[in-house]
Amino acid sequence: MTNARPNILLLYTGGTIGMVKDFKTGALRAFDFKNLLEKIPELNLLDCNINSVSFEDPIDSSNMNPEYWVQITELLEAHYNQFDGFVVLHGSDTMSYTASAISFMLENNTKPIVFTGSQLPIGHLRTDAKENLITSIQIASLQHNNIPIIKEVCLYFEYKLYRANRTTKINAEHFEAFASFNYPDLAESGVHLKVNHDYLLKPNLKEKVQFHKHLDKNVALIKLYPGISEHVLQSIFETPHLRGVILETYGAGNCTTESWFVELLEKAIIKGIHIVNVTQCSGGSVIMGHYETSSQLRSIGVISGKDMTTEAAISKLMYLLGQKIATEDFKTIFETSLRGEIS
Ligand code: ASP
């Protein structure tokens, strides 16, 4: 079998990585990605063919939303068969949300889709953008017998490759901006690119990829804190059309046992609102029933988010609510790992 050069598509959505300083105004602006190869001549040295597409109006990722997630999915769908791997350039602020959402929206994906970005623009002298971009392209190009080695949606930042739906942005200043507390790194970049093959997702290569584009935004994310009032919670649960809530609880999934609180949740569940319990802790898992302060949640039918990140849980909720899933199956499906998001 001859080894053809892999075809890689760069998809630029916006973010610091693709910005250059306008020397007249001093402000950062998106640069034309068609000129990418001219701006970063190192890309010519990579053993792959690179093409690029860009959002018409690149955005700061703080403006990201599910409509843009659909746009990214459509771009991936339009180019899926012509390319062996994809690198999505995205602002780091909401990258974990987008990358998690895309992992759910692509069912039976068998190609590398690597999200990356940077803390400093690509034209900055001390930029982290070049290493992040070059290594992401190399990772997307890794093949064995013309088949990609990475077959999942992942996120590369500062020498580490993570499973996308396990990541969280943890630092606004350090180059090491992301972490994956509940799942090991998929690869590390040092003198050698070391892939941890045992931890990679191994999808069934015979299944056909499907692109899901229906997301339901009628969800809410509530972080508990000591003293949260009944009024505040009640008003959230009375939101018109609300269909699902991610509840960030304490420790292993614990919350207050006050009767007004449990009754409020129970009423919402009876009304058909799905409530998911995830932990506020960076690492570890929800274990409902481990303490008295979580056993009531289990008995009223709260869904366990297990060791899912908040980013994965909220995007999975929008994705599953967008599918036609029978109410009685929703809890079981949510608690099942669909794309390696649960241990
Ligand atoms: N605010 C920027 C964004 O998320 C920061 C970055 O690109 O890292 O788009």
State in Å: Cα 334 to ligand 1 middle.
Answer: 30
Tokens 């990679």 correspond to what residue? 200
Among residues 61, 162, 152, the alpha carbon closest in space to that of 104 is found at 152
- Tell me the β-bridge partners of 160: 157, 188
Look up 16 and say whether it is catalytic: yes
Q: Specify the pLDDT at position 53.
A: 93
State in Å: Cα 53 to ligand 1 middle.
Answer: 19
Q: Which residue in the list 2, 13, 16, 73 is annotated as catalytic? A: 16
Q: Is the CB of 91 under 6 A from ligand 1?
A: yes
Give Cα 183 distance to the centre of its chain.
14
The sheet with strand 160-163 has its strands ordered as: 49-59, 7-14, 85-89, 113-116, 153-157, 160-163, 187-189, 193-195
Q: Specify the pLDDT at position 100.
A: 98
The closest residue, in CA terms, to atom 8 on ligand 1 is 92
Alpha-carbon distance 1 to 249, whole Å?
53
By residue count, the chain amounts to: 343
Averaged in consecutive runs of 10 residues, what is the pLDDT profile of the chain (343 residues)? 82 88 78 70 91 91 97 98 98 97 98 95 86 96 96 97 98 93 97 96 96 98 97 97 98 94 97 97 92 88 97 98 95 98 98
Among residues 137, 110, 123, the alpha carbon closest in space to that of 11 is found at 137
- What pTM does this model have? 0.95
The closest residue, in CA terms, to atom 3 on ligand 1 is 91
- Residues 159/188, Cβ–Cβ less than 8 Å: yes
